[in-house]
Structure 1
Amino acid sequence: MGGPHIVGVILFLVIGFIINSLFSYLLRKRIIDSGQIDKEALEVLLKPIGSTTESLKWGLLLLFGGLGLVILEFIPYEVHNSSLPYGIEAICLALGFLTYYLWMRK
């Protein structure tokens, strides 16, 4: 994956984050402006959007996804006709989700 591809992916993610934040703000503003909410609901709406558990989930997914990519560097496979890279990456990401699930169950 070359440099221009990485820039495209990062640009896509940044634009997606901005759009998500904007729509979340507009939804919260519309709910608050309607005036039909009680004090507890208002406190929930005024909390910051991101939570620590959400950061943990994405951190674990990135960690295990990166681990999968590192593993692929050391396993020989035929580049053009192999589904091995997809399987290893899927397994590593699933392990990341499973780790997050088990962590949150405690």
Structure 2
Amino acid sequence: MNVMGDVLIPAVVFFGMYHIIKLISEHLLKRKLIKAEQYDKAGILEPPKSVSEEGNKYPSLKWGLVALMSGLGFIIIEVMRLVNPNLIDYHNAVLPIGILLVFVSLGFLIYFFIMNGRKKQ
């Protein structure tokens, strides 16, 4: 096994254990506070933090644009591979990942500009 795996696996295990213990301890603490009728300290009566209504108004548009641009990115990758097979090697997949990330980012940017245009109107 390589050195990265020797460090990464225990780190992930301990990170997961830490979060599970933290989740359980917070639950038990809130339960004790609720039983002691200390609702304000437990934080259960606070309204949830609302997301901007305008930003959450068109979630299907956002994910539709991201899916469209991701598909377009995959098509561009495949066309580039068919035109020049030596250009994209799937064993060294940095270029295809870069192309895909650029297209996904373009999808989010298009959504951002559409939403900013609607706010100004």
> Could you tell me the TM-score, scaled by structure 1's length?
0.50
Aligned residue identity for 1:93: V
Aligned residue identity for 1:88: I
Q: Which residue of 2 aligns with 1:103?
A: 114
For 2:59 and 2:92, the matched residues in 1 are separated by 36
Q: Among the aligned pairs, what percent are the same residue?
A: 42
For 1:66 and 1:52, the matched residues in 2 are separated by 24
Structure 1 runs (4+) deviating above 6 angstroms are none
Q: Quote how far apart the aligned CAs of 1:84 are.
A: 0.5
3-state secondary structure, aligned to 1:98: helix
3-state secondary structure, aligned to 1:75: helix
2:80 to 75, 78, 83: 75
Equivalenced residue count is 61
For 1:58 and 1:82, the matched residues in 2 are separated by 25
Q: Are residue 94 (structure 1) and residue 99 (structure 2) matched? A: no
Higher helix share: 1
User: Cα deviation per residue 1:49-69 (whole Å; 9 max; x = unaligned)?
Assistant: xx6511100110000000001
RMSD of the TM alignment (CA)? 2.3
Unaligned runs of 5+ in 1: 1-36, 38-50
Aligned residue identity for 1:92: F
Please say which of residues 90-99 and 67-76 is displaced more in the overlay: 67-76
Larger Rg: 1 or 2?
2
Q: Which residue of 1 aligns with 2:27?
A: none
Unaligned runs of 5+ in 2: 1-46, 48-55, 82-87
User: Cα deviation per residue 1:50-99 (whole Å; 9 max; x = unaligned)?
Assistant: x6511100110000000001111111311202301100000000000000
Matches within 5 A, 1:1-106: 52-76=57-81, 77-106=88-117
